[in-house]
A and B are shown apart, each in its own frame.
Chain A
Amino acid sequence: MVNLEIKNLTKRYRDKVVLNDISFDVKDGEFLSILGPSGCGKTTLLKILIGIEKCNEGVILKNNKNITNIDSSKRGMGIVFQNYALFPNMTVLDNVMYALNLKIKNKDKARKESLRILELVNMEEHIDKYPHELSGGQQQRVAIARTLTLNPDIILFDEPMSALDADNRLKLRKELKNIQKKFKTTMIYITHDQEEAFSLSDRVMVMNNGNIEQIDIPNVIFNHPKNEYVKNFVANHLIEKVSSIEKCTGIDL
């Protein structure tokens, strides 16, 4: 079953075309990474998907229902930001419970549900802590838990790891993968980091200048890049990796 379908999406700011007639789909339970350099239009795409920005042309279908002009709150999507945007004046539990309280108006039930989800993301020990008392990884888990409580069909990630150091990134990637396995939620992951995209995703979508250059499983993109751009984008990354290994080890690869 196709979960999300984007058809002929175009976005212009005055004369500048930011998204140029792009179409793709996201399958149910899929992990899709949108990969591209800064300014390629990936953040604009995210804003349009979540509904805080309007597109000039095109439609977004979710389960065959047109949601292009539907309010953000009714799209059944959650978002996790780069800086997580946790509410600093609330504890972990309150952060997770806040929206649910407003939705179901039954405090006991909201609390139970929030605790259940916090347990699933392994944060049950930290429910009384404030966000600034948590590590970056823990904050991310809380942010994910917060979106999960509302039971969204799709979670969007806006470069959630770019503020972390390399060690933590590696750890968090694993955790994110685990969470996705547990909840089977569709995830759309925006990043400029090739390694992240290739290691996490079922499929990767490479973007450049408001166009989709290629969308496929990591293996295919890696081994059969569709054009020069994708080849360079992926190859450059490889060359960087290789040369850094060479530097470290002194071995000529």
Chain B
Amino acid sequence: MKKCSKLSILIFVFLFFSILYPLILMLSKVEWSNFGLLISSNAFKESLFNSVFVSTISTIISVLVAYFLAFSLNRAYIEHKAVLKTLLTLPMLIPSISHGLGLINLFGANGIISKSFGFNIIGEVGIIIGSFLYSFPVAFLMLDDGFHYIDNKMYDVAHVLGFNKWQTFKKVTFCYLKKPILSSIFAVFTLVFTDYGVPLSVGGKFITLPVFLYKEVIGLLDFSKGTMIGLFLLIPAFISFLFDNFSRDYSSGDFEGNDYKLGNNKLRDRICTIFVYVVLIFVCIILGSFVYYAFIDNVVVNKVVSLKHFDYVFTDGISKYIFNSLLIAIAVSIVGTIISYLIAYVTCRIKKIGSKVIHLLTIVSLAIPGIVLGLSYTISFNSSFIYNTFIILILVNIIHFMASPYLMAYNALQKVNPNYEVVAKTCNIPIYKIVIDVIVPCTKKTIREMFSYFFVNSMVTISAVTFLFNTSTMPLSLMINKYEGNLMLGEAAIVSLFILLFNLIVKGIVYYINRVEHRRSENREINVSSI
């Protein structure tokens, strides 16, 4: 028992120094006297307005599209639903800046499509489309999940009560989806509001708040001003955090969805199929443009297949950056999974005094945008030994992405029989043994998911690491930024493809292991029942 409280203290110290301390230090170094000057400046007002504008429009589009995608895949006959669902989440496997890049490839000044029509979408339109592309899968996954938790018996009840379609939607579907819809609105808005990858690449002269912050810090090294701008980025994230925590629907987690009886409606099926494929084609042409740009010598003047861009990136030392990224991603996945699992174990199953505080501290990291977290790390740790090393990049990523895997572990551990530890105690089995031998195996699927979440996000992130890398620790994703800045779109496309490739490999491995395991248990069941 004493050991457990020691562990809690250790965790608290870790969270304090990796979350609270940098934030407090960052705020303490701000020259508040300049605050009035900043918020009355035209540059600030304009970028704030721009941010709110593009975030609002992108959120509306993303959530609407995501809703109809989730609806189509849950309430219509469409073939290969599982494959379609996987393909629709592909945009999550590349950095946000790559979506901007894809748009430039297609609709930029020299874009494949726009060139022949003589227009381009650089500016707010580009940001909105790019933000939509990389944020809709998040909303889609949330809403798809929402559809799974609708108690479909309610439709029978509605039918018996003689509700018409609109009443049924209002009283049943919307009732269940209200929470996921609101959550996804908050999540998407926060995501777009704090992202600078897309606006940096396709924004042109249209400056949003994160880009403003980025330019102040990277270009002018004005950390104080950067911090003050960062505070504004915290606002929507914080509201979203509060909303999620005060309206968490604890009951739905245990509910097992029953099958929805699909009625015959050819028109609905056709419209839904077309809709899903249109979105999918849009996603695919963005990804396809990378392949095109990567293998074509020069898309404007010399449209022949060539490996010129590959030669260039390899002589430019891409292997080293691949190594850096893989090192960071694998370290983050392993250490991050262990830490967040351990924290979840302490808060979920030991439940000592202080576990509430630890729980809150862990999920509060959801409310800190990567760019703000990165900035706070630069300010707080620039004289420590971890600065300029891989350690700080690994640490910042773990903290940045920890909340979701932590909640996955928490939910999984909550479902594990609460009495194992008591059995262990009476049988004189040490708790760590029961955790390793029983509780970890019971939650291994979740652990794999946590691992792949950490991996994918560490591969695609640019926000948290952007102020923290140096030439020898630079991760792959930041190469896109560099190449794109030099108008080397082919090279930037190759980097995006590499990131996609590694993420697909990890996702593929996880999928494969899950399937093998599923098959094995199915085979066993057949064998047992035949005995």
Interface range on chain A: under 10, 10 to 19, 20 to 34, or 35 or more?
A: 20 to 34
Q: Is B425 part of the binding interface, using a Cβ–Cβ cutoff of 8 Å?
A: yes
* Interface contact A99-B428, CB-CB below 8 Å: yes
**Is A98 a contact partner of B425 (Cβ separation < 8 A)?**
no
Is B278 an interface position by the 8 A CB rule? Answer: no
Known interface pairs A88-B442, A89-B442, A133-B528; A81-B419 also in contact (CB < 8 Å): yes
Q: Give the shortest distance, in Å, between B438 (CB) and chain A (any CB).
A: 5
- Bits for B424-459, please: 1 = Cβ < 8 Å to A, else 0: 011111000100011001100000000000000000
Which of A83, A87, A88, A103 meets B428, CB within 8 Å?
A: A103
Do B420 and A77 touch (CB < 8 A)?
no
Q: In the complex the two chains form, is B427's CB within 8 Å of A73's CB?
A: yes
Query: Does A36 belong to the interface (CB within 8 Å)?
Result: no
Query: Within 8 Å of chain A (Cβ to Cβ): is B417?
Result: yes
B423: Cβ under 8 A from any A Cβ: yes
Minimum Cβ distance to chain B for residue A14 (Å)? 14
Docked pose: A116 CA to B426 CA in angstroms: 21
A72 and B425 in contact, given A89-B438, A98-B437, A102-B433 (Cβ under 8 angstroms): yes
Per-position 1/0 for B168-192, Cβ under 8 A of A: 0000000000000000000000000
Contact B426 A73 (CB under 8 A): yes
In the complex, what's the smallest C-beta–C-beta distance from B518 to chain A, in angstroms? 14
Are B441 and A89 in contact, with the CB atoms below 8 A? Answer: yes
**Bound-complex Cα distance A15 to B419 (A):** 27
Interface residue A210 (Cβ < 8 Å from any Cβ of B):
no
Number of B residues with CB within 8 Å of any CB on chain A = 18
Q: Which residues from chain B contact A79 at a C-beta distance below 8 Å?
A: 422-423, 426
A85: interface (CB < 8 Å): yes
Give A54-94 as 1s and 0s: 1 = Cβ < 8 Å from B's Cβ atoms. 00000000000000000111110111010101011110000
How many Å from the CB of B523 to the closest CB on chain A? 13
Cα distance A77–B385 in the bound complex, in angstroms: 52
Which residues B476-531 have CB closer than 8 A to chain A? 524-525, 528
Residue with the highest number of chain B CB atoms closer than 10 Å, among A71, A87, A129, A150: A87
Do B427 and A99 have beta carbons less than 8 Å apart? Answer: yes
In the complex, what residue of chain B is closest to A102 when comparing beta carbons? B429
Q: Assuming the A-B contacts A50-B422, A88-B442, are A102 and B417 also in contact, with contact meaning beta carbons closer than 8 angstroms in the complex?
A: no
Say whether A102 contacts B428, CB under 8 Å.
yes
Task: Give Cα A99 to B425, complex, Å.
Answer: 10
- Option from B422, B427, B437 in Cβ contact (under 8 Å) with A150: B427
Instruction: Assess whether A218 is interfacial by the CB under 8 Å rule.
Output: no
A74 CB contacts on chain B under 8 angstroms: 428
Residues of B within 8 A of A73 (CB): 425-428
Q: Is A225 at the interface (CB under 8 A from chain B)?
A: no
A76's nearest neighbour on chain B, judged by CB, is B426
Q: List B contacts of A136 (CB < 8 A).
A: none
**Across the two chains, which residue of chain A brings its CB closest to B444?**
A89
A74 to B427, CA, bound (A): 9
Most interface-central of B427, B428, B525, B528 (chain A CB within 10 A):
B427
Q: Are B528 and A52 in contact (CB under 8 A)?
A: no
A51 close to B (CB within 8 Å)? yes
Q: Which of A131-176 contact B (CB under 8 A)?
A: 133, 146-147, 150, 152
Expressed in whole angstroms, the Cα–Cα distance for A52 and B420 within the complex equals 13
Instruction: Please determine whether A85 and B417 come into contact, CB atoms closer than 8 angstroms.
Output: yes
Closest to A81 in B: B419
Chain A residues near B417 (CB, 8 Å)?
83, 85, 88
Q: Are B423 and A52 in contact (CB under 8 A)?
A: no
A72 and B528 CA atoms in complex are apart in Å by: 37
Task: Convert B321-356 into 0s and 1s, putting 1 for each residue whose CB lies closer than 8 angstroms to a CB of A.
Answer: 000000000000000000000000000000000000
Q: Which of B426, B525, B528 contacts A50 (CB 8 A)?
A: B426
* Residues of B close to A78: CB separation below 8 A: 426-427
Given contacts A89-B442, A129-B528, contact A83 B427 (CB under 8 A): no
Contact check, B437 vs A52: say whether CB atoms are below 8 A apart. no
A122 to chain B, nearest CB (A): 17
- In the bound complex, CA of A78 to CA of B429 (Å): 13
CB neighbours of A98 from chain B (8 A): 427, 429, 437
Residues of B within 8 A of A129 (CB): 528
What is the bound-complex CA distance between A140 and B437, given in angstroms? 21
* Whole-angstrom distance between the Cβ of B79 and the nearest chain A Cβ: 33
A195 and B389 CA atoms in complex are apart in Å by: 69
**CB neighbours of A77 from chain B (8 A):** 426
Contacts of B441 in A (CB 8 A): 89
Q: Which residues of B contact A150 (CB under 8 A)?
A: 427-428
Do B420 and A85 have beta carbons less than 8 Å apart? Answer: yes
> B419 to A72, Cβ gap below 8 A?
no
What is the minimal beta-carbon distance from B91 to any residue of chain A, in angstroms? 36
A87 adjacent to B425 (CB under 8 Å): no
Quote the shortest CB–CB distance from B448 to chain A (angstroms): 15
List A contacts of B426 (CB < 8 A): 50-51, 72-73, 75, 77-79, 147, 152
Minimal Cβ-Cβ distance residue in A for B417? A85
Interchain CB contact (< 8 A) of A85 among B423, B433, B437: B423
Q: Is the beta-carbon distance between B427 and A87 smaller than 8 angstroms?
A: no
Residue from B425, B438, B442, B525 within 8 A of A52 (CB atoms): B425
Task: Compute how far the CA of A102 lies from the CA of B430 in the bound complex, rounded to whole angstroms.
Answer: 10
A90 to B420, CA, bound (A): 13
A90–B429 alpha-carbon span in the complex (Å): 15
Q: Chain A residues near B525: list those with CB within 8 A.
A: 133
Per-residue CB contact flags for chain B residues 461-475 toward chain A (1 = under 8 Å, else 0) read 000000000000000
Across-interface contacts of B422 in A (CB, < 8 A): 50, 52, 72, 79, 81, 85
Tell whether, in the assembled complex, residue B438 and residue A87 are in contact, meaning their CB atoms are under 8 Å apart.
yes
Which residues of chain B come closer than 8 Å to A72, judged between CB atoms? Answer: 422, 425-426
Q: Is the CB of A99 within 8 A of B429?
A: yes
**Whole-angstrom CA separation of A83 from B417 in the bound complex:** 8
A sample of 24 inter-chain contacts (CB < 8 A) reads A50-B426, A51-B426, A52-B422, A52-B425, A72-B426, A73-B426, A73-B427, A83-B419, A85-B422, A87-B420, A87-B437, A87-B438, A88-B417, A88-B438, A88-B442, A89-B441, A98-B427, A99-B427, A99-B428, A99-B429, A102-B429, A102-B433, A133-B525, A146-B423
* Nearest 4 pairs of A and B residues by beta carbon: A73-B428, A99-B427, A85-B419, A89-B441
Known A78-B427, A87-B437, A87-B438; further 5 A-B contacts with Cβ < 8 A: A52-B422, A85-B420, A88-B438, A90-B438, A150-B427
